[in-house]
Structure formats: C-alpha cells, structure tokens
Amino acid sequence: MTATNSCHRFATYIDRFYQGQSFLPDNPTNVKEVVGILDSYGYVLDAYQKNLQYIADREFLNLFPFFKYFDGNVSFDRLLKHWWHDRINFEYAEYCMKVMLWHGGGRLEAYIESPEFSDSIELAIQAKIKNKPIIKLLHRLFPEFLPEQVRQSVYYNALGQFWAVMAPIFLTLGKAYEAGKVTTIPDVVNWVKAGLVAAAGNPINYAVEIDGRSYDILPPSANLTFLMDVAVPYVEAIFFRGTPFLGVVSYNAQAHQIPVEQNSFTYGALYADPLPIGGAGIPPTLLMQDMRHYIPPYLHEIYQHTKRKEDDLLVKICQSFQKSMYCVTSATILGLAPYPLDSTDRQQQATNMAYFEGWMDRLLTSQLPNIQG
C-alpha cells in the first residue's frame, strides 16, 4: 500500500518512503553535500557534547560559571583565543539545550516536574550549599530557584548524552562514504536509522559528585531512554519548533508575528530560511561558523563550482545542513513507524498511512519543496 490514492498534498513524499527513498532526492551531489556536512557536524557535536556534560557535572549549581566553556582547562592562551573567537561556539549548544528545556515534552519533562524528582534533588542541593550561608538564604526565600537550575543541568546532561551518540554516527558515516560503503541518500538514511535504533534503549542517567558522594539526579529507576525521552523531544524542539530569531520577526505581541501557542511554532531547522545566516541574533550562524573548520575537500569543491564560490560560505553550509536534517528526519520517521512498511495487514497499513500523513501535515510550510534540486 502506498499513498498514490491519497489526496494529501505531500503524498509523493510518502510514496518515497515506501519505495525506500527519503525526503531528499537521491543524486551524487546531494550525497556529497549531506555526507560532507554531517561529517563536519560530527566533529562539532563531539566538542559540544563534551562541554555540555562537563558543565552538567563540574559546574553543577555554580551560579557564576565564568569558565564553563573551557572544560576545566583554563590558560591565558585559551582566554585569548576565547576573546578572539578562535574557538568552538559552545553558545549554540546552550541555545539548543535551552530550547529543549523550554519546549519540554515526553517523560523527561514529566519526571523533572514530579514530586519524586523534587525530593531527590533536595539532597544534592543541601550538600552543595551546606557551607554557603548566602545561597542557603536564597534557597529559603526562593525555594524554586535552585531546583530550576538543576532542571537546566539535567538538559545540559541529557543533550550531551544524545550528541555523544550522534557524533560517532556522523563521523563513521563520513568514513563509510570515503570507503565506498555509502553511495546513495537511502544509504545515508539507513545508516542514521540503524544508529538510532541501536541506541534506542540506552538508559539516560545522571548523577553528580559532591564532596566525594554521588547524588542521583536522573536515577535508573526513572527508566528514561535515549530515543523516546531525549532524541524525539530533541527533534520536536530543534527540527520543528525552535524559537523565533531576534531581528527576523517582531516580539511585539500586537504585531501577531509569533504564535500564541508553543506547539504552533515553526522556527526549527526544517523551516528556517538559510539566507539570514550570518546576521546578528541568528543562533545557527554559530553552528555554521563551527562546521566550516571541518568541511571535507569534496564539499569545498561543490561550493567552488557555484556562482559566488565561497563568498557566501555560511549560507551554503546552512543549505547543505538543512538537506542533511531532512535525511535525519527521514531516518527518525522511518524508525518510529508503527508497523513495517511491507506489512500486508490492512489495519497496519492504514495506521502507517495516518502516521505518515500526520508528519506531512507538520511540514506543509517547511522548506521541503526548496531542497528538491
């Protein structure tokens, strides 16, 4: 069963899934672009995840973490590079963490808002502030302030754990392409899907050490796992919803340029216009600047054969990155399908079709038509 008889506007894309394809057309240029950009993304994500987990572990309840981007290695030389911006822009990783925290969703959000979580983290809070009378007073006067800082640490850690899985998936993809093992867009999608499925049940646990004692923040008893409790909320928050970028839309409530409801946001990676990349207040600019350091030669060659060559490099990187995110989204959608696509059971076929059409409804206003070259 395919979508051929469906009246859905994007029925063609649903048919692609049943034919073993993806959102992105399969051609050699798209393969080079997607693999090359994901390879560079893998290097950046590896740096991001290490810093996020460092902050979660070592800067726990540090209200003034001046050196949080240094991973514990502070030197005058690194300070100069930091001030000169000769460094990885960890601010973008924090932006993604805050977007996830704000949008929430899934069992992770439900757990950190539960009484069980509040009771367990109080032990860690008390241990951390026991010799800090001013912070003790702050905690007494504003009892929700420090717990909210702990919730933020949870998302630092959870996003770090997520990217710690994704980075090697993308880096090994690049090596597989160079070895001739990955040659098509479906190969890319299947590679990412296999990595997601393999890590699906990985537990998401988080503990901090204070004065030689370990305190569970996300204990094993919470039964949180990689795919459903971190990966899916990440896709929802970063790929779909996102946040409106300063300078692009008005935050004035009377202008009505931003939806009232969070679940109506369409500012994520799948919707974003690549052209504003490089402008002030556009967080993905930081990511594009980071990835440009790791662009492989075969992707540089593609950019050199365009009209502007690399004069608009960040925009080109963003366009390639957006294509790659549609491949990752394809892998996620296929990996979460309710039933096998080759099922002969009519009820299962109908359930799969409704599932795919639900995703397509969300992409009606996305950049999907613009990546079909």
3-state secondary structure 239-283: HHHCCCCECCECCCHHHCCCCCCHHHCCCCCCCCCCCCCCCCCCC
Per-residue pLDDT at 309:
84
> Which run of H or of E encompasses 67?
none
Whole-prediction pTM value?
A: 0.94
Per-residue pLDDT at 105:
87
Per-residue pLDDT at 2:
54
User: Rounded to an integer, what is the distance from CA 89 to the centroid of its chain?
Assistant: 15
> How far apart are the C-alpha atoms of 49 and 247, rounded to whole Å?
29
Structure tokens at 310: 């690399």
DSSP one-letter string for 213-227? EEEEEE-GGG--BHI
Short-list 315, 280, 236, CA closest to 37: 315
List the chain pLDDT tens, one digit each, 373 residues.
Answer: 555 544 457 788 899 999 889 999 999 999 999 999 999 999 999 999 999 999 999 999 999 999 999 999 999 999 999 999 889 999 999 999 999 999 998 899 999 999 999 999 999 999 999 999 999 999 999 999 999 999 999 999 999 999 999 999 999 999 999 999 999 999 999 999 999 999 999 999 999 999 999 999 999 999 999 999 999 999 999 999 999 988 888 888 888 899 988 888 999 999 999 988 888 778 999 999 999 999 999 999 999 988 888 888 999 999 999 999 999 999 999 999 999 999 999 999 999 999 999 999 999 889 999 888 6
> How far apart are the C-alpha atoms of 225 and 218, rounded to whole Å?
11
